[in-house]
């Protein structure tokens, strides 16, 4: 059983659901909920609906009323303090651009946290909580490794959905281009969090890349069963191989860090050696020793 769960966007939803029952039974129950979801359950209407909302100056292409009802129906706890194990949800303050973490306060309401963490522009409008307009946490921490470390995690298994590399054929549609643009924006934050973890000697991190060669719109739930099965298989293979084996991005970060440190060390050695030579040449003992 994990000691804590940390998530951003739909990862926050899954974390909150699993934190009530962090067992295989809880995972199967969560998977069953997602398998039953259809587009109209969360995104009612058509593309004309989204266009009409845009013309009317709405803050999102779709209303978040259905999403709110979905969370209220299925969220098994009301406050973070009611969860069986600690869980944290990451959102972004739209006005300041700063990270907002729900769950540090046990009285934080779970549904508000999940509405904020999943308010992805332009699909959903910002979620207002305690006077702040909050949006999807992916804008600041799509893979919230640093959030977990700051809350005491020393062994982390991170499930990564960010993909900085998109096949060219997937960039010929509006959805493909939109997904690529979002991936480019959030990958820098993912890299920064991985680099931060790589610099810490007391953190064991295993990043599992849950990537599939498939382009889906956020409102397309037709492949849910396939994605769950592929995610389970990818994760099982990765953990059976080595739960804390460095992935290629982590290895590159660690190699880059080692190279930087070696260059700096060599530079400091050269400077120290030059200083010692100058100091020795100017010392009285050296001058007196000359013929």
Global confidence as pTM: 0.77
Give the closest residue to 118 by CA, choosing from 218, 28, 211, 51. Answer: 218
Instruction: Tell the CATH topology of 5-246.
Output: Cytosolic phospholipase A2 catalytic domain (3.40.1090)
What distances in angstroms separate CA 185 from CA 123, 150, 163, one per listed residue? 17, 23, 11
Using 50, 70 and 90 to split pLDDT, how confident is the model at 276?
A: very low
Question: If you average pLDDT over each of 5-9, 59-63, 239-243, 245-249, which comes out highest?
Answer: 5-9
How high is the pLDDT of residue 189? 79
Q: What ranges do the domains of the chain cover?
A: 5-246, 248-282
Tally of CA atoms within 13 A in the half-sphere of 227 that contains its CB: 17
pLDDT tens string 127-170: 999 999 999 998 899 899 999 999 999 999 999 987 666 555 45
Which residues are designated catalytic? 9, 136
Given a contact cutoff of 8 angstroms between Cβ atoms, the answer to whether 100 and 91 are in contact is yes
């Amino acid at each position: 059983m994990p000691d804590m769960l940390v998530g951003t966007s739909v990862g926050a939803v899954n974390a909150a659901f699993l934190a009530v029952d962090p067992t295989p039974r809880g995972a199967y129950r969560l998977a069953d909920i997602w398998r039953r979801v259809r587009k109209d359950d969360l995104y009612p209407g058509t593309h004309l609906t989204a266009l009409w909302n845009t013309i009317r100056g709405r803050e999102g292409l779709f209303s978040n009323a259905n999403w709110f009802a979905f969370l209220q129906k299925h969220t098994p706890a009301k406050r973070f303090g009611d969860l069986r194990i600690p869980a944290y949800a990451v959102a972004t303050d739209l006005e300041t651009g700063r990270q907002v973490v729900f769950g540090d306060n046990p009285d934080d309401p779970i549904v508000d946290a999940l509405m904020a963490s999943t308010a992805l522009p332009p699909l959903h409008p910002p979620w207002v909580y305690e006077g702040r307009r909050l949006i999807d946490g992916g804008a600041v921490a799509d893979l919230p490794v640093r959030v977990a470390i700051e809350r005491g995690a020393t062994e982390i298994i991170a499930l990564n959905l960010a993909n900085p590399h998109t096949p060219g054929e997937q960039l010929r549609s509006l959805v493909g281009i939109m997904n690529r643009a979002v991936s480019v924006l959030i990958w820098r934050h993912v890299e920064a969090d991985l680099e931060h973890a790589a610099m810490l000697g007391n953190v064991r991190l295993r990043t599992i890349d849950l990537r599939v060669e498939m382009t889906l719109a956020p409102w397309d739930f037709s492949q849910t069963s396939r994605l769950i099965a592929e995610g389970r298989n990818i994760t099982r293979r990765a953990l059976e191989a080595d739960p804390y084996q460095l992935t290629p991005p982590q290895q590159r970060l660690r190699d880059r860090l080692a190279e930087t440190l070696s260059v700096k060390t060599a530079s400091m050695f050269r400077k120290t050696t030059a200083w010692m030579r100058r100091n020795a040449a100017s010392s009285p003992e050296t001058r007196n020793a000359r013929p």
